[in-house]
């Protein structure tokens, strides 16, 4: 029986952020899985993304996460577009993706994107955590937002119970989700 880190799969756009000596140096979308789109200027406009990490930042850190738009920001964006006679977006995910890919970062800034982080791509000059729960705590300690609904659960029964609670809460979350993600809490479990 294993422990799992459980969290909703926020419906947004996957990104990787590279910090060098604690400063945001590069941001890219996942793209096709091997080649993404560089979106650093636009990510710098997202208020929840720190431009400089807090605390003792590693010399190099690549974090992976999701850029998304809350339902409230989505409704406000579509309301403004309708008032101006412009085309509205179909859903928050499409709005987030289109906003992050804008050529003008000022347009991105007006659209109120948000972000949360859940994974590590690379890290140098840092004692890497041995558990997913420790990684999430370390990311929060550096000032990077993580999903507030993440939770440590035990075994299959804990996973099913968490899933049931997220299904009940799904409509009341401030953002869209497209499921639940479970990660074994130990990185050395094999």
Q: Report the catalytic residues.
A: 9
State the Cα–Cα distance between residues 24 and 74, nearest whole angstrom.
26
Backbone angles phi, psi at 181, to 5 degrees: -115, 135
What are the residues whose beta carbons fall under 8 Å from the beta carbon of 105, sequence distance 6 or more? 41, 42, 44, 45
Backbone angles phi, psi at 189, to 5 degrees: -75, -15
Structure tokens at 19: 């910090």
Does an H or E element contain 133, and which?
Answer: helix 132-141
Secondary structure letter of residue 131 according to DSSP? B
């Amino acid at each position: 029986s294993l422990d799992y880190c459980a969290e909703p799969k926020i419906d947004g756009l996957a990104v990787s952020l590279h910090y060098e000596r604690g400063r945001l140096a590069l941001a890219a979308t996942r793209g096709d899985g091997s080649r993404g789109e560089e979106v650093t200027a636009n990510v710098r406009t997202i208020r929840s993304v720190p431009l400089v990490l807090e605390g003792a930042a590693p010399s190099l850190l690549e974090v992976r996460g999701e850029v998304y738009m809350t339902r409230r920001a989505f409704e406000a964006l579509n309301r403004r577009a309708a008032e101006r006679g412009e085309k509205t977006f179909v859903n928050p995910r499409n709005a987030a993706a289109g906003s992050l890919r804008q050529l003008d970062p000022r347009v991105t800034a007006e659209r109120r994107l948000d972000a949360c982080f859940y994974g590590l791509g690379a890290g140098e000059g840092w004692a890497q955590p041995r558990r997913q729960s420790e990684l999430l705590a370390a990311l929060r300690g550096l000032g990077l937002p993580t999903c507030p609904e993440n939770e440590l659960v035990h075994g299959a029964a804990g996973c099913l119970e968490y899933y049931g609670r997220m299904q009940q809460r799904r409509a009341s979350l401030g953002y869209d989700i497209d499921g639940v993600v479970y990660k074994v809490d130990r990185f050395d479990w094999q």
